[in-house]
Structure 1
Amino acid sequence: MEDVMALRPVLLCHDDGGTLWPLARSSHPKPFAPVAGGESPFQIAVRCLCVPGSVEPIVVTPERYRFVVQDQLAQVGIAPRAILIEPAARGAAAATLVAAVHIAAQDPDAILVAMPADHVITDPHAFRAAIIDALPRAGADEIVGFDLELEEPDTGRPLPEPEPANDAGAGVVQLQRMRPRGNGDRPRASRPTHMVVCRAGALLAAVTAAVPGAVEAMRAALDAARNDLGFLRMAADSWTPLSRQALDRAMGAAASALPAILRSDTLSDARDWNEIWRMAQRDESGTATIGSATAMGCHDTLLRSDSPHVELVGIGLTDIVAIALPDAVLVVRRSEASRVPDAVAALAAMRAPQATQLPVDNRPWGFLENLSQGARFQVKRIVVKPGAALSLQSHHHRAEHWIVVAGTAQVTVDDAVSLVSENQSIYVPLGARHRLENPGKVPVTLIEVQTGSYLGEDDIVRHDDLYARD
C-alpha cells in the first residue's frame, strides 16, 4: 500500500468516438458514463489509485469536460492536484507527457502511473498489485507499458508465452522472455492500453531523444498556462503545433519491449458492447440484464435499460445486444458491436441530436433534462446545485416560464430580484436579462417552459457568467 501511496496518478479523459452509444455520447463520453452500472470508469480509477493519504491525481482533459471532471471528483470526495486543459486533442501520449512535465517540475524522480480514464478496473486489488510489480522496473528508468490480455486473439497482437514467476502480481501475466509457441498451443493475444508506469524524468528524457523540441514545447505550454476557475489552461500557441503521430511514435519507442500484461479479469478497455457483455454477470444461458430489462429464453445476450420509464423485454434472442435510453434504442448482434460508431456517424450526418447529446445535459451549475418539445414550445427539468447560478442571459427568439417544484430560487429579471419558492412561478419575457441562482443548502428543481419561434441553445446572449463560458 505504501508503494501505491507514493505514486503520482494521471487520468487521461477523452471522447472514444461513440463505441458505447447510446449510453455514452460526445456530450458525456465513456470515461464519465456508468459503464459498469454504477460509478463511471473515471471514478473507479480515481478510487483505486488515490487511496487515503496518497498523492492527489492529475487529470488531463479537453475543455468541454472540465466541469464533469470536477463534479465526478467531488462525488467521490477526492480533490485533484491539477486539472490540465488541452487546447486541442493530441491523444494519450501527449496527455501523458504534459502530465510528466508538470510532475517533473517538482520531482523528476517521482513515479507516475498514467491510464486512460475510459478503461474499467474490474479487480482493484489485482490492479494495484500489477502496478506495484512494475515499480522496480520503473525505478530502473524503464518505461513500463501495459497491455491487456484478450480472450479473442485475432483482434490483438501475438502475446509471448508466460513463464511462472514468484513475484508476479495477482493481476498480471508475468513475461520473462519471448519464446515461440508450439503448433498445438492455444493462440493468445494482447492489445496496448496506453497505460504506463515510469519515472517522470526518464519519460521526458526518452521522448526528448526521439522528438527533439516536443518536451520544450510542452514546458512552454505549461509555463504560459493560466489558472481559470481552478483549471490550468495550457497555452495554445505552444501546444497546437505538436504532432500527435510523432508523439505516439516516441511513446511507443520509449516503452519497454516487454510490457506488463494485465489479465482480462483485472482491467477492461470497454471497447464495445460485446466487451460489456463479457464483463457483465451472466446467467447459465450467458445472458446479462442491467437496469429495467427482462430476458425470456435468451442466450448469450445483453439487455440493458438505463431509464426507469423504459422496460426492455427480450424474448428468444441469441447473441444480441439491446440498449435502451429514453431517447434512443440500439439493437445489434454482438459480433457487429464494433460498427456502432458507424451508426453514430450516420445519425450525425442526419443532424439527429441523439448522435451527440444525452437527454440529461450536465452543466457546471447542475443539469437540465428535455421532457417535451413541439413546433413552438419546449419543456425542461432544471436542477441547480446549492450555491450555483446560471449565467445572466437574454434570448432573441423565446420567452420562458419557470415553475419551482423544490427548493427556493433567487431570480433576476432585468432590474427586479425576487425569491421564488416551491409551487411558485415567474415569467421571463422575450429579450429580458435574467438569471437564476440557488442561495440555499438544497438543490433547486424547476420546470422551464420555453415558447417562441426558435428554441435552439445557440439563442443565448451571456452578459455575465460565473464559469467564464462564451
Structure 2
Amino acid sequence: MPKQFLTLQGEHSLLQTTLLRLKSLQAAKPLVICNEEHRFLAAEQLRQLQLLNNNILLEPAARNTAPAIAAAAFYTLEHYGDEAILLVLPADHHLADDSQWQQAVTQGVIQAEQNHLVTFGIKATAPETAYGYIVPGAAVADSTAAYRIKQFTEKPSAAAAAALLSSGNVYWNSGIFMFKASVLLQQLQIFRPDIYLQCQKALARPQPDLDFIRLDQAEFKQCPAESIDYAVMEHTKAAVVVPIASPWSDLGSWSSLWQLSEKDQQGNVHLGQVLQHNSTNNFVYAETGLVATVGLTDTVVIQTKDAVLVAAKDQVQQVKAIVQQLKTEGDTAYQVHRQVYRPWGNYDVIEQGRGYQVKRIRVLPGESLSLQSHQHRAEHWIVVAGTAKVTIDGTEQLLQANQSIYIPQHCVHALANPSKDVLELIEVQTGDYIDEDDIVRYQDRYGRV
C-alpha cells in the first residue's frame, strides 16, 4: 500500500493532506497522477474531499517523475494554454508550517511567470544521501527570495553530501516544482527529446474513463524511466531555487515519522490502540486491534489488516528486502490486500477458508455492482446499514438493515445502492472455487469486461 494513501497523522491520508493544502491557493482543480493499479483508491480519497472531477491521470506503468510531469504538462497545455503554471507536489510530504509554504509558492509564481523553472529548497541540516542538493548562486534580479542555481547534485555519496553541507549554504531539493507547462516541455525537448516524444504520443489520444484519463499504454511504456531532476533540472540554465522556511520531511520511513511526531515521556509514538510497559523510543502503529510492547527499545511495530512488521528503527528501510523475498518466492502478499477498492466502493475480506469467504462490502450512494453470475459459488447477503436494491434473475427487491437474501450458483444477479447513504453488507461466499475471477459479467456501467 503506497504511503501516500495512509493516514499517519490526523484524520486524512498524506494525499488528502496535500490536496487540502491547495485550498489556500487560487488554483484550478488538482490533477492527480497515479498508477492504474491504485486508481480506485485514489478516486475514493478524492471523492471524500469532494474533489473528484475527471481529474486522475493514469500511468499504465511506472516511469519515474519526468514522464509523469511531462504527461501532466501536455494535458495542461491543451486545456489551459501556454501561460498555465504547474505546481508539482509529491503527495507524501510533511510540511509543518503551511503559511511559510504559501509564501514560498507566491514567490514561485512570480518566478514561473518569468519563464523560470522553480524548485523549492529546504535548508540542509544533515548529510543525507537520499536527497538532491542545491547550491544557490546570485539572487534573481528584483527578488530577495529566489536564487540562481550554482550547482545541482542529485543523491550524492555520503562524502560528497558531507562536503556540500560543510559549505554552510546548501539546500535539499524538496521535489516540489513550479513552472509553466510550456516552458517545462521546451526544456524537456532540448535535454530529453525521447521522453518528450513518447509522452506527446501517449497524450495524443487520451481515453476518458469515468473520472480517469488514460494514456496510450503502448506509447507510454516505451518512454524511458527518468526523474525530472536528472532529465532537466541538472542541465537547464533556466532553473532557480526558492527556499521554504517550513520544517519539512519526505517521510521516507517509519523512523522519520517517529522523529516528526509528538512523543510521550518515554519517547514513544503510538498510533491506534497501543499499550506499553518498560518500552522506550518506539514507533507503534496499530490499525485494527490492540498492540502491546514489553521491554522494547528503538523499535518500529506496524500492525495492519494485511501483515505485521517488527523492525529495528535504524534498519526499517530494509523492509524492501522482505518485499523482494516475497516476489522471489512467488508469494502474492506483497501486492494483495484485504481491502480492495472498486469504482462502486470497496470490500474487505474478513475471513476465508476452504470453500468459504466472508466480505464486508461498502457500496457508495447511487452506485451499483455489475449484472453477473458465478459458476462455482453461491452468496448470502446480510444488510448491515442502508438500502440494497437486489436483482435476481430479473426480479427486483429492496432490503433494509437486518434483512438478508440468498443467491444460488448460476443466478444472474446485481446489487445497487439507490439511497443517499452508504450501503454496508456482509457477504458470505460458499463453493468449491471462490476466487475473484469466477465472474461472468452481462452488464456493467463502468465498462469492465
Give the corresponding residue for 1:17.
none
C-alpha distance after superposition, 1:137-185 (max 9, x if no partner): 322222122355555424345664999999777xx9x89867x999995
User: In 2, distance between residues paired with 1:359 and 1:246?
Assistant: 32
Q: How many residues align?
A: 436
Whether the aligned pair in 2 keeps the contact of 1:110 and 1:199 (CA below 8 Å) is yes
Is the aligned partner of 1:42 residue 2:15? yes
Return closer, same or farther for 1:182/1:120 CA change in 2, 3 Å cut-off: closer
Distance 2:134 2:103 in 1: 21
Tell me the distance in 2 between the aligned counterparts of 1:175 and 1:94. 25
Residues 68-87 of structure 1, C-alpha deviations (whole Å, 9 max, x = no match): 22222221233447322223
Superposition deviation, residue 33 in structure 1: 1.5
The alpha-carbon deviation at position 341 of structure 1 amounts to: 1.9
Structure 2-normalised TM-score? 0.86
Contact 2:121 2:134 in 1 (8 A): no
Task: Decide which of 420, 424, 441 is 1:441's aligned counterpart.
Answer: 420
Structure 2's unaligned 5+ residue stretches are: 152-159
| Range 423-432 or range 188-197, more displaced | 188-197
Please tell me whether the aligned partners of residues 65 and 228 of structure 2 are also in contact (alpha carbons under 8 angstroms): no
Q: Could you say what the CA RMSD is over the residues aligned between the two structures, in angstroms?
A: 3.2
Is the contact between residue 92 and residue 194 of structure 1 (CA under 8 Å) also seen in structure 2? no
Q: Distance in 1 between matches of 2:336 and 2:173?
A: 30
Change (3 A) 1:53 1:227: same
Cα 1:193/1:395, change in 2 over 3 Å: farther
2:372 is aligned, of 386, 393, 408, to: 393
Please state if 1:432 is matched with 2:411: yes
Q: Which residue pairs with 2:248 in the alignment?
A: 267
Q: Alignment partner of 2:203: what SS?
A: helix
User: Do the aligned partners of 1:153 and 1:188 also contact (CA within 8 Å) in 2?
Assistant: no
Q: How does 1:60-459 map to 2 (within 5 A)?
A: 60-80=33-53, 82-105=55-78, 106-149=80-123, 152-155=126-129, 156=131, 160=135, 191-212=172-193, 214-245=195-226, 249-252=230-233, 253-254=235-236, 259-262=241-244, 266-307=247-288, 310-459=289-438
Conserved 8 A contact 1:126-1:266: no
1:104-126 deviation per Cα after TM superposition (whole angstroms, max 9, x unaligned) = 23321222111222323333222
Alignment partners' CA distance in 2, 1:162 and 1:280: 34
What code does the residue aligned with 1:446 have? Answer: L
Asked if the contact 2:192/2:232 (under 8 Å) is kept, the reply is no
Task: Give the counterpart letter for 1:225 in structure 2.
Answer: P
Inter-partner Cα distance in structure 2 for 1:150 and 1:282: 24
- Report if aligned partners of 1:45, 1:121 keep a CA contact under 8 Å in 2: no
The Cα of 1:208 is off from its aligned counterpart by 0.9
* Residues in 2 aligned to 1:334 and 1:301: alpha-carbon distance in whole angstroms: 8
Distance 1:329 1:237, change over 3 A: closer
Unpaired runs of 5+ residues, structure 1, are 1-24
After TM superposition, give the deviation of residue 330 of structure 1 in Å.
Answer: 1.0
The 1:359–1:204 alpha-carbon spacing in structure 2 relative to 1, beyond 3 Å, is same
Alignment partners' CA distance in 2, 1:183 and 1:204 = 30
The CA distance in 2 between the partners of 1:397 and 1:33, in whole Å, is 35
Q: Could you tell me the percent identity over the aligned residues? A: 32
Amino acid at match of 1:40: S
